[in-house]
Amino acid sequence: MPGRFSNRVIPFLLALALLAGCAPLSAPAAPDAAPAPTPTARPTFTPLPTLSPPPVTPTPAAATEAAPAAYAEPAGCLGANEQAQLSTADMLAYADQLLALETPLARRRLTRAWNASARVYQLTGEDALAFSTSLVQNRYLVQEMLNALHAAGFAAWLRQDAQAGEHILAVPMRAAALQGAWAAYIRAYWQPGELPAGDASVVETLRLSPCRWMVASGLAPDVPVGQLEGAGWQQPDFASSAQAFLAADSPSAFAVARGIAWLDGKTESPALMCGPLAWAITSAAGAFPPGYGAWDAAPKSFWLPKPSENGRPWSLFPPDTYTLRRFSEPLGSADLIAYPLEAGDLVYTYSKQDGFDHVLVVSEVDSEGNRFAVTNLTQVKPRLEYSIRRILLYSAKDPTVGYFRNQWANDRVNGRTGDGGFEVFRWAWRAKDLSGQPARYTVRPGDSLPLVAARWKTPPGQIASANGLDPSAPLRVGQELIIPVNP
């Protein structure tokens, strides 16, 4: 973290930079670089476009499987006859039953909601409901609310507007609703990327495959389960994803920082980009859990983290999606042979008084046991220079080499880190395969085999086989699944 800042750096950045940083204390502020380019009756449904999977390396042949003709509908969906008997109030009660939250949706209700088609706030009731989510601290719970409402028969949207704040709009899916005031909110739900009637208040979240009764009644297109979710279970390729962020010099590093754009695309600095860079690599690899969560606030969610003080970035994720290991000993002397780092691990290093905190993602482990990361670096002498490089963290065969044992342990000019200990965040799907032991997962509302497979990066056929399941039969909310080890 720089110790002096140019007058051209916006004032609030100074206060934030004093909290945490990714560069040495002795590094002066860099001059402004040249601005980088800014990254730039039954209804008839149009066919859904084919969704592009995240950029990952093709799955090895052993993990590839042919998809069955059809996976079952999301967990929690009712039969057509049972659904037809429910009023809007009954549907809400069923959604709350599925969720079992301490504060149910019924106690979060709003009396009015914005209708973008009519361009007016309307009373909520039988035709549409709205629920405040502004006080939901664990943001991933918002997606669970949306999923439960979907299983109960609503087209559910997360929105943010000036009057209502952040809230969920839930429109009951009924044939009559397709001619009603909220019809656009049902039709647009099945079109990825489309907003209902141009409603700019919508926050994009995971949309679920339709229940079978929705298709049979003409309320939804008949699409393969998992397609709307963009469900993919390939193993993320962190090494290839990280290559796109390499920068050999200061101008290139500034361009990458501004391209990641965690502030405004103009004032980002490579001196404070370690968190956003780790986010960008992890996102490009397709490693984040499917669905909405605090990490969806883009790379800014990883900006200036400090787990010991603000919990970030670990607290952004559901607890069952990761494991965490804390080390009190310095990074330079820790035994990383007994607990080796693996590709995809996020590492947060703490400094004492003469260094800087840092966060990085391990990008690869080679056949010789060398661990690498692509991360931002600051050189203070002989001249100030920023770069983003692929560096050797440590070697399993030679503990005397690598940044952990050398530069970050001993360099008092360019900065030290990890002398105050460190933490290792590991994805649960990675920990499961490394341990060689299957994991257990409890089915949630809206889950399908493809969606569970996407959460665990494990092919759905393997999950079905390990549990003796018929892939065309729906999962049950609360059902315990064994998630097998990938071969």
Asked if 93 and 167 sit in the same domain, the reply is: yes
Q: Are 453 and 231 in contact (CB under 8 A)?
A: yes
Q: Is residue 283 part of a domain?
A: yes
Q: Is residue 92 part of a domain?
A: yes
Q: Which of 35-44, 107-116, 429-438, 474-483 has the lowest mean pLDDT?
A: 35-44
Using pLDDT thresholds of 50, 70 and 90, give the confidence band for residue 474.
very high
Asked if 140 and 278 sit in the same domain, the reply is: no
Q: Is residue 315 part of a domain?
A: yes
Q: The tokens of 166 are what?
A: 């952040």
- DSSP secondary structure code for residue 412 in this structure: T
Q: Is residue 61 part of a domain?
A: no
Per-residue pLDDT of 288-308, as tens digits, reads 999 999 998 789 999 999 999
Residue that terminates a domain, selected from 176, 210, 244: 210
- DSSP secondary structure code for residue 249 in this structure: S
Asked if 87 and 170 sit in the same domain, the reply is: yes
Q: Is residue 54 part of a domain?
A: no
Asked if 272 and 352 sit in the same domain, the reply is: yes
Q: Are 189 and 207 in contact (CB under 8 A)?
A: yes
Q: Is residue 419 part of a domain?
A: yes
Tell me how far apart the alpha carbons of residues 50 and 65 are, in angstroms, rounded to a whole number. 19
| Residue range 216-231: mean pLDDT, rounded | 95
**Number of structural domains found in the chain:** 2
Per-residue pLDDT of 315-364, as tens digits, reads 999 999 999 999 999 999 999 999 999 999 999 999 987 899 999 999 99
Per-residue pLDDT of 447-469, as tens digits, reads 999 999 999 999 999 999 999 99
Describe the crossing of helices 250-260 and 274-284 by its angle, rounded to 10 degrees.
Answer: 70
Asked if 326 and 202 sit in the same domain, the reply is: no
The domain of 362 spans 11-27+234-429
Asked if 96 and 186 sit in the same domain, the reply is: yes
Asked if 306 and 388 sit in the same domain, the reply is: yes
Asked if 249 and 155 sit in the same domain, the reply is: no
Q: Is residue 119 part of a domain?
A: yes
Residue-wise DSSP of 49-93: PPPPPPS-PPPPGGG--PPPS-PPPPTTPPPHHHHHT--HHHHHH
Asked if 197 and 288 sit in the same domain, the reply is: no
Residue 15 has pLDDT above 80, yes or no: no
- DSSP secondary structure code for residue 243 in this structure: H
Q: Is residue 240 part of a domain?
A: yes
| Residue range 379-392: mean pLDDT, rounded | 95
Residue that terminates a domain, selected from 393, 413, 429: 429
Give the pLDDT of residue 27: 52
